[in-house]
Structure 1
Amino acid sequence: MDDNYQTYLTRVAKLAMPENYKTQVQHIHSSPKFKPLPGGGRQAVAFPGYTVIAPPAQEDNQNIDFYQSLHSFQKQLIELAPKDLIVPVPPGSLHLTLADLIWESAYNYAQENVEKFDTKLINAISKIFEQYQQSKIASPIEWQILGITVMPRAIGVSLVPKNENAYNQILNLRRAIYQSPDLTALGMEQHYHFTPHITLGYFGEVTPSLERDHLIKTISELNQQLSDYPLKIYQAELRKFDDMTHYYREQDWSILTF
């Protein structure tokens, strides 16, 4: 399902082109992953599952400058956007997803109907990491921010690899995950093309009076201020989440080192 390198570059470049923001902003909606509170603001709702990600910002000591710069950009985005429009991802939880695994209703169903589901999933990922680790892996893999990406229910920054090898290494890992018979037996499958991005926030209160033209202008102007710090991907980790604000792992879970 994932694109080859050139097709990916063409596709993702369109996502971050300012001229496309007009169309994208017209189709934004409130994210169901957060609910409004009586006193104002929004709270994350239960949305459990598993994912494979690069280390989140608060635990990543090799990309400190990258995440500090991205956090500053995130704050600026929130400040300039209409009040309550964007629910920010906690800065320590900013991360790059490498492979979505299972979430929400599918995860709840698997937990209820597959004996020792979590243990089987953890063991399957450990096996994949161990086998992939034995292949030739260059170190580290570097990606860089291309631009702001507006999604239907979230906003973030899209990333592109420094070279084709960096892209193919992640692609090969994804193939190893999605083609794993152990994970397939657990009901997991690939749902999306690989579109590397870091989510900065989810859309909260999208009112009929939202000045979309002004929002488009704000996003376009901010797009010129993104940093050029590279993101070094040196590890892939299995993480569990209960909602969209925190991603955690146990110490004995396997880690893939690039």
Structure 2
Amino acid sequence: MSGANPDWRAELTRPDNPLPRRPGETPSGSGEHAGQGSGPGAGGPKPKGTSAYWHRLHYPVGVFLVAYGLASVVATALSWSDRRDQVASYLDAGVATTALVGVKGLELLLVAVTVAGLLRRRDVWFLPALAGWMAGFGVLSVLDVLRGKWGGLAEHVAYLLMFGVLLFVSYGLGVKARIGRGPGGPGEGGTLSRTQELALAALNRIPRPSPPSRPSGPQFGQSPTG
């Protein structure tokens, strides 16, 4: 029997020959390969609650919306009689107080939603505030035309345009952030819609401040004059 295969013991003790696995034992290294996908450098899911369209410049947009809303509520509280008379010039005097309280309560709600969007980094939560103030100034502009208040019309149209620009900028920043996160782009097939292309092109046309130029010093091998 030993003459049939004299080197069978040597085959078992060779250093390059792996030992047979026990029943139920997983292959060596499989746990290492399985854990590679969950490492910090692997591409995994984004943190919960963070929008893929969030851009760092969304922070100043959100801060402005919060500051504007709070300033509007505080200014109304400090000059309540004047604001009530202003509302009464558009509506009936009997409903001026109720309308003013309702509008300011809605503004506080919009501010709270915007703060939540800032904390959770979700730009879509800016839309209620942007759309709400645009709708409010749009209604005031129509009432200015009906009442013949041309000075108020110019002011309210200016605010309407300002919030419209902020809405467009916020949308464009979201498209830019989505493109920067991956090669696939915002769409499933990696293509941009016409609106997204226009928003991205408008953002790219905004001039950026050039970095300050360094003062030119003496060239290499030259001693400074003086």
* TM-score of the two chains, using structure 2 as the length reference: 0.23
Which has more radius of gyration? 2
Higher strand share: 1
Higher helix share: 2
Structure number with greater CO (CA < 8 Å, separation at least 6) is 1
